[in-house]
Structure 1
C-alpha cells in the first residue's frame, strides 16, 4: 500500500497497521468527524459534501452530494443508508482492505450520512468472499453499539451476499437484502424515493463513504483542492500481479495512466504492455499509445473507457485479444442475472465465438453487441457492449484478424 497524493484521505490507518478496535481508531483521530457532524445541521453537512465534488467510487461517478440531497428531501417515517461492499470486479480489492483493517471509518461515515439524510437504519452489504472483512465488521459493529455510536436512533446491520456479481448494481443489491431474486429493477422510481423495502434509500460504495469523515473534518473545499477538472479528491487503485509492484495505491485524480503503469507499478515483470483495463471488465481496454491520458471520469469516458472501481489489470503481449474477449464474455455470461435476453443468451454466444477453433461470424457478433447496448436494463449488458466497442475503436486491426 502506498500514497501518491498530497493528502492521505483513505489509507492513513491502513499504512499504520490498521485500526480494528475502537480504541485504536480513536487514538488516531477517529470519531472526531462524527462528533462534528452531530453539531451541524443536516443541510450544512450536505453542502460540504456538495462542495467537495465527491463522486461515487463504485463505477458510475455520480455526484454524491446530489444523492444525499435527494434522499434528505423525501418525507418518510423511515429511511435507509446502505453501504455497497459487493466488490465484485476482477482485480479490485480496495474496499476489502478498508473493511478489514479500518471498519470504524465506514461505520462513522454511515452514521454521518444518516444524520444528513434523516435515516434510522443502515445496512452494510458485503460479498461472502470476504470472510475476514465480515469478522472485522461484525466485531466493530458490536463495539460501536457499546460505545453509543449506534443505537435506537440509528443502527447498522451486516448482510452477506451470496456471490452474485450483479449485486454490485444497487437495485439488484436491494432485492438481495430483501431476500428476493437479485435482478435489476426498472427505473423510475429512483431508489432515493423508493429503495430498500420501498423506502427512501441512500446507497454509496464503501470507498465513497470512507472519504466522508475526512471531508467533514477538513471541509469540502479542502477535498476539492485535490484532483483535477470534474474529478476531485483521491482514488484507490488496485494493481494486478503482472506489475512489478502490485498492490493498493491512493492517488489524486489527474495522474497520467503512464505514471500508474511505470511509476507506481514499476512496469511489467513479463513482456511488453499490450492493453490496460481500468475499472473492471465492463470498462473497456486501452492501448499503450493512450497512457498519457489523465485519470478522470470524463477523460476516460471520452476514450470509451472508465475509472470504474479502480482495478487496474495489465495484459502483456503474450496474451491474444481473442483470449481476453473470451474470458470477459465468459465472466459476463456467468454473472448475468437472466432478466434481459440479449445479456442472458447473447453473451454465451460471443464467448463461444472467441474460443479456440470456433467459427466467427462478424455480422452476428455486431448484431449481438448492438442488442446488448440497446436493450440491457443495467450496466452489465451495456458495459459488455462498451467493452466490445473499445476493441473496435482501439484494437481494430487485431479484432479483424479474429474474423479473418
Structure 2
C-alpha cells in the first residue's frame, strides 16, 4: 500500500546534495517495498524530483538496491524527457510550444525571458503541450505550472528568478489552474454520492454490472471509442486469479485538458469507477498513470485515495497505486503505458495479445481513460437510461470538450455526443473562424463548410480536444507545428516513424519554399504518409502523416 507522505513533491528551487540515507528514507516512506525491479522507474522519478537530477552515483546506488542493471537504468533516463543526469540549474523553465501557445505569443516571451535572464542560474527550453492550452502562455518551472505569463508580468517573473527567490515563496496565484466548466452536463452536474455506485455494483453479479455498462452504450472516452463493456467482459472471462485495472491519465494530446478537470474536481468519481470495474472483472489491484506534466495533481489524488482507504473501499482485496509519468507522449498508448507501469521504456507492444488477455505483468488488464471511469460511476448511480438519454444511437451520452485558441470563452464544455462543431463554436464565442482541429494533431481538420459535422464517435476527431483558429492564422503554420510535434515525440523504435517524421518536416519545408517543385513534393508527402501508415509499429507513426493529408486535402478550399 502506498504511503501518503510525499515530501519529494514540494515545489522548490534548492536541491539537497546526494545522500543515500535521504534517498532510501524517501523511497521507504513512499513504498513499503520500494526496490522491486518494477518500481525502478517510479524510483527514478522520485529521485529526479528530490535531487533535481539523477547522477551516476545515484544510478549505481539504485542499481545495487534494485538489482536492475545500470545499462537499463540509463536506457530509462535517455527515454523519458523529464529524467536528467546533468546537475540541475536553480530554475528549469519548460515553455509549452503547442500551436495555441505559439499563437498566444510564446516565442516572443521566450526571447524576452532569455534576454532578461542571461547569466542567471536557469535553463530555458520548450516542451509539448502541458495540458494548459486554456491558460496561455503557460510553462513548467521545476515541474510545476506557472499560468498566464504575459508581456505585462514577464518582468516580475524574471525579477523573482534574478534575485533567486525560492519557488515555494513565489505568489501562489502564479500557479493557479482554473478548471472552470463553461457548459455543464450530466457527468459534471449530477448529485454525486460517494460510494453509491459501489453499493449498487455489489448488489449485482459481475455479468449484471457489465450488462449495465453495455446497455448504456458507454464507449472509451480517450478517443478510440471502443465499447467499454466488451473490454470488461473480455477481461472477466480470462481464467486467471490476478487481474488489474489501469486508469490512463496521460492525456498528452496537444490541446487536451478535459481529464485535468476530472482529476482535480471529480477525483472520487474516477476512483469509484475503478472500484466498480474491479468488482465487474474480479481485479485485485489498480493503477493510475498520471502524466508527468500533472505533477501538481499528484498529492491531491493521493489524498483522495487515502480517504477511500480510510473508508474501507480500498483495502487488501483491491487497492490503487498512483504512478507518475516522466514526459513521454507515447505512453498515452495503452500498451506503452503498461510497459511504463512495469518500470520499462514506454514502447508499444504488438497486438494481439490485447491487454484484456495479457496486459500488465502479463496478467489480464482493463485499461480505460479517466472520463470513462467517471462515466461508469454515473451509470451505476443514475442508471443506463439516464446516460443514453442524450447523445446519438451509436454515440450515446455526453462528454467534455477542451476548447482553446481563437475564441472569447476557452475552457471546458460538456455537450451531448453528436453536437455539431458549429454549435460549440457559438457557445465559446468564436468569430471569423478559419478552421477547427478536433481530436489533436492526429484528428480532423474542419473548414467552415464542414462545421455541421457532429462531434461523436462516428466522425474523425473524437479525442476531446477542439482547437479554434481564426482567419488570421496560416494552415501551413498549424500543419508545421503538428508535424514537428510528432517528430519530437517519436520514441525512435521503428524506422518508418523515426525517419519518416523527420523526412515529412523536410518535405513540408520544400513544399512551402520551392513552388516549382510543389506537385512533386505533394506527391512525395502523400506517398510517405501512406508508407508510415502501413508500416509503423504503433499508432503514433501510423497517424503522424494525417496533418499533412488534412492540409493537402483542405488547402484548396482555403485558397
TM-score (norm 2): 0.64
Q: Give the superposition deviation at 1:354.
A: 3.0
Q: Give the superposition deviation at 1:113.
A: 0.3
Identify the residue that residue 18 of structure 1 maps to in structure 2. none
Deviation readout 1:252-290 (Å, 9 max, x if unpaired): 01211100011x11114xxx2111011111103111111
Deviation readout 1:8-41 (Å, 9 max, x if unpaired): 223558xxxxxxxxxxxxxx52211111111211
Match of 2:434 among 274, 281, 284: 274
Tell me whether 1:177 sits opposite 2:341 in the alignment.
yes
Q: Please state whether the residue corresponding to 1:374 is helix, strand or coil.
A: helix
Identify the residue that residue 495 of structure 2 maps to in structure 1. 341
Work out whether residues 277 and 312 of structure 1, in 8 Å CA contact, stay in contact via their aligned partners in 2.
yes
Q: Please state whether the residue corresponding to 1:33 is helix, strand or coil.
A: helix
Identify the residue that residue 545 of structure 2 maps to in structure 1. 385
Work out whether residues 295 and 324 of structure 2, in 8 Å CA contact, stay in contact via their aligned partners in 1.
no
Work out whether residues 325 and 351 of structure 1, in 8 Å CA contact, stay in contact via their aligned partners in 2.
no
CA distance in 2: counterparts of 1:346 and 1:307, whole angstroms: 25
Deviation readout 1:145-183 (Å, 9 max, x if unpaired): 111010111000000111111111000000111111111
Work out whether residues 90 and 280 of structure 1, in 8 Å CA contact, stay in contact via their aligned partners in 2.
yes
Deviation readout 1:179-208 (Å, 9 max, x if unpaired): 111111011111110000100000000001
Match of 1:311 among 445, 465, 474: 465
Q: Give structure 2 stretches of 5+ with no counterpart.
A: 1-179
CA distance in 2: counterparts of 1:316 and 1:373, whole angstroms: 30
Identify the residue that residue 25 of structure 1 maps to in structure 2. none
Tell me whether 1:93 sits opposite 2:271 in the alignment.
no
Q: Please state whether the residue corresponding to 2:452 is helix, strand or coil.
A: coil
CA gap 1:349/1:358 in 2 versus in 1, 3 angstroms: farther
Match of 1:370 among 530, 543, 546: 530
Q: Please state whether the residue corresponding to 1:40 is helix, strand or coil.
A: coil
Identify the residue that residue 10 of structure 1 maps to in structure 2. 188
Identify the residue that residue 109 of structure 1 maps to in structure 2. 273
Deviation readout 1:297-332 (Å, 9 max, x if unpaired): 11x2xxxx3212x11101122222221121111000
Identify the residue that residue 428 of structure 2 maps to in structure 1. 265
Q: Please state whether the residue corresponding to 1:331 is helix, strand or coil.
A: helix
Identify the residue that residue 203 of structure 1 maps to in structure 2. 367
Q: Give the superposition deviation at 1:390.
A: 2.5
1:123-134 matches, cutoff 5 A: 123-134=287-298
CA distance in 2: counterparts of 1:103 and 1:222, whole angstroms: 22
Q: Please state whether the residue corresponding to 1:130 is helix, strand or coil.
A: helix
Q: Which moved more, 1:223-232 or 1:161-170?
A: 223-232
CA distance in 1: counterparts of 2:533 and 2:552, whole angstroms: 15
Q: Give the superposition deviation at 1:48.
A: 0.3
Identify the residue that residue 319 of structure 2 maps to in structure 1. 155
Match of 2:217 among 53, 61, 79: 53
Q: Please state whether the residue corresponding to 1:312 is helix, strand or coil.
A: strand
Greater RCO (Cα-Cα under 8 Å, separation 6 or more)? 1
CA gap 1:306/1:342 in 2 versus in 1, 3 angstroms: same
CA gap 1:86/1:334 in 2 versus in 1, 3 angstroms: same
Identify the residue that residue 224 of structure 1 maps to in structure 2. 388
Q: Give the superposition deviation at 1:119.
A: 0.3
Q: Give structure 1 stretches of 5+ with no counterpart.
A: 14-27
CA distance in 2: counterparts of 1:137 and 1:386, whole angstroms: 35
Tell me whether 1:69 sits opposite 2:236 in the alignment.
no
Work out whether residues 90 and 281 of structure 1, in 8 Å CA contact, stay in contact via their aligned partners in 2.
yes
Q: Give the superposition deviation at 1:367.
A: 2.1
Q: Give the superposition deviation at 1:3.
A: 6.7
Identify the residue that residue 354 of structure 2 maps to in structure 1. 190
Identify the residue that residue 79 of structure 1 maps to in structure 2. 243
CA distance in 2: counterparts of 1:342 and 1:52, whole angstroms: 40
CA distance in 2: counterparts of 1:348 and 1:319, whole angstroms: 24
Identify the residue that residue 140 of structure 1 maps to in structure 2. 304
Identify the residue that residue 20 of structure 2 maps to in structure 1. none
CA distance in 2: counterparts of 1:120 and 1:397, whole angstroms: 54
Count of residues paired in the alignment:
374
Instruction: Tell which structure's C-alpha radius of gyration is larger.
Output: 2
CA gap 1:342/1:358 in 2 versus in 1, 3 angstroms: farther
TM-score (norm 1): 0.88
Work out whether residues 124 and 158 of structure 1, in 8 Å CA contact, stay in contact via their aligned partners in 2.
yes
Q: Please state whether the residue corresponding to 1:191 is helix, strand or coil.
A: coil
